[in-house]
Structure 1
Amino acid sequence: MDRLPKLGLPVIIGVILLIILIVKSTITIAPGKAGVLYRTFGGGVVTDKPPMSEGFHWVLPWNKVYVYNVRQQELSEKMQVLSSNGLQIGLDATAWHQPVREKLGLLHQEKGERYITDVILPAIRSAARSVVGRYTPEQLYSTKRDAIQEEIFDETKKILDKQYVQLNEVLVRDITLPPTIKTAIETKLRQEQETLEYEFRLEKAEKEAERQRIEAEGKAAANRILSASLTDKILQEKGIQATVELSKSQNSKVIVIGAGNDGMPIILGNQ
């Protein structure tokens, strides 16, 4: 009877140690994540095999698993950059990114878990400074936003492709100019718009004047041709034709043949 408590204590301790061992030897990786295995006695970070996928895994208790988010993630950054003429410009940009899943072991080994702040953020800042430095404040304000966005994406992607990070998109959400520069640009753009509107009205008036001139010349030419073709005989023939048509009318009338100038008929009527 005295032996039972003495035997039970080691058993209880053994069971507890077994449970701890089992707990230390398992890991469950959540959806959208992947694990990088670190072998304490087997060469360190595993880079020659795909990362551990979602679900339940057995791991030796002296090894460790580093879990990474492999879904698309968003990184927003507000920064101050310089334009081509040295003016300070505020830039608000967002990058959509995710680690290259197949290279997750290399990412962990070479860059570490802080790769977003240590790799992606400096890359975006460098690309933004380089791209914005090619443009004037006026270009940044008016016509070049889409081009700037594409160029920042291209330059950032070139950097991150070598760092085991996949860049999906860069969005320039806002460009902020110094108030005085913004006001000057808006005034200039408004004046240019007014000038364009004035030139349009002037061009329209010139085209209308040209149209009227051409129309008047056409009418004058037609009248000259008509005058040249209207001989006395043609006029007499037209008069006879008109007399014949009038004679067919039901209205009462008196037609005096040959009483008018040049022998043209005179029409007298009571209606």
Structure 2
Amino acid sequence: MFLIVVGIILVIAGFAIDTPALTLSRYARPIKITGIIVALAGALTASIRQIDAGTIGVQSLFGKVNKNILPNGLNVVNPLVEVMVFDTKTQNYTMSAANSEGEISGDDAIRVLSSDGLEVVIDLTVLYRIVPTEAPNIYQQIGSDYKDKIVRPVTRTRIRDNAVYYDAVSLYSRKRDEFQDRIYKAIDKDFKDRGLALEQLLIRNINLPESVKKTIESKINAEQDAQKMEFVLQKERQEAERKRVEAKGISDYQQIIASSLTDRQLQYEMINAQKALAESSNAKIVILGGGNKGGVPFILNDK
């Protein structure tokens, strides 16, 4: 466009000095020719536009937006049109309490009020992209700063609108996935109406008030202590049951032995033991007919 303007200026200057009364009139023709060449070169250059991969071009001529988008590659266009390039790849917008993570420097986390009136701080990342066919409408109705006009305010508003249905502890624990799914559906609908496609919504962190954190930690510790005590009691019950079974077995064994042994059986077992001792090669003294009850012999070893 710049070369076209320069060429036109040179042509006009050539006609202006093309007067025999002026000493510069002899340069009029060369200036005209140069102006025409520069204008043609500028028109040729401005007529060819390159659109890189992952982007599309939207044409605007004197404020009127052309609905036909320019695809990737080289495109021949009107040299007077203005081409606005839109990124159609996946983009992310992060709102975080950390200074170095969000799109805006400083604490940009989303502060919401839960159903129990507590302030909850949420760090969030939105993954989205432009719908290529909707790019002319975005440019015409919103402009190129759709992040600040649509992505940021819609996300923050929908999160605040839906957080009031949950108490702080639920947002932090068991209802977190449900909350994320709920705000995803709300934001997705608003984005579609504006030509944007929501790909994913990532709740990165939920910070509760310090008093609530201490309450939750105390509850978790109490539950862990209760589980530990239950384990100990269960182990003691199992040990008591083992001892009961063992005692029952010993008692049953003693009753069986007591009911089955007779004097003749004992005498027979004694004779077998004496016989085994007599056949042993170990030196020993065996005194038969001991004085103890039952006539069981004493066995004296000489060592």
Normalised by the size of structure 1, how large is the TM-score?
0.80
Offset at residue 94 of structure 1 (A): 0.5
CA spacing shift, 1:230–1:130, aligned 2, 3 Å: farther
1:11 counterpart residue number: 33
Offset at residue 239 of structure 1 (A): 2.3
2:4 counterpart residue number: none
Amino acid paired to 1:52: L
Q: Please, which of 165, 168, 171 is the counterpart of residue 137 of structure 1?
A: 168
Amino acid paired to 1:230: L
Which secondary structure does the structure 2 equivalent of 1:251 belong to?
A: coil
Provide the rounded CA distance (Å) in 2 between the counterparts of 1:44 and 1:132.
39
- Which gives a bigger RCO, structure 1 or 2 (Cα 8 Å, sep 6+)? 1
1:125 counterpart residue number: 156
Offset at residue 89 of structure 1 (A): 0.8
Q: C-alpha deviations, 1:82-106, integer Å up to 9, x for none?
A: 2221212111101111112344345
1:20 counterpart residue number: 42
- How many residues get paired? 266
2:302 counterpart residue number: 270
Amino acid paired to 1:46: K
Q: C-alpha deviations, 1:28-72, integer Å up to 9, x for none?
A: 22332111234669x84325xxx4233322111243322101111
Q: Please, which of 223, 229, 242 is the counterpart of residue 254 of structure 2?
A: 223
Q: What are the equivalent positions in structure 2 for 1:28-177 lying under 5 Å apart?
A: 28-38=50-60, 44-46=65-67, 51-77=69-95, 78-109=109-140, 111-177=142-208
Provide the rounded CA distance (Å) in 1 between the counterparts of 2:148 and 2:92.
12
- Kept in 1, the 8 Å contact 2:58–2:65? The answer is no
Which secondary structure does the structure 2 equivalent of 1:116 belong to?
A: helix
Amino acid paired to 2:188: K
Q: CA RMSD in A?
A: 3.1
- Kept in 1, the 8 Å contact 2:59–2:83? The answer is yes
Provide the rounded CA distance (Å) in 1 between the counterparts of 2:151 and 2:33.
53
Offset at residue 156 of structure 1 (A): 2.9
Normalised by the size of structure 2, how large is the TM-score?
0.73
Q: Please, which of 245, 252, 255 is the counterpart of residue 283 of structure 2?
A: 252
CA spacing shift, 1:207–1:264, aligned 2, 3 Å: closer
Which stretch of structure 1 is more off in the superposition, 71-80 or 190-199? Answer: 190-199
2:221 counterpart residue number: 190
Instruction: Give me the identity figure in percent.
Output: 30
Provide the rounded CA distance (Å) in 1 between the counterparts of 2:138 and 2:241.
73
Which secondary structure does the structure 2 equivalent of 1:75 belong to?
A: strand
- Kept in 2, the 8 Å contact 1:38–1:46? The answer is no
Provide the rounded CA distance (Å) in 2 between the counterparts of 1:161 and 1:215.
73
Provide the rounded CA distance (Å) in 2 between the counterparts of 1:139 and 1:245.
81
Which secondary structure does the structure 2 equivalent of 1:46 belong to?
A: strand
Gaps of 5+ in 1: none
Offset at residue 185 of structure 1 (A): 2.5
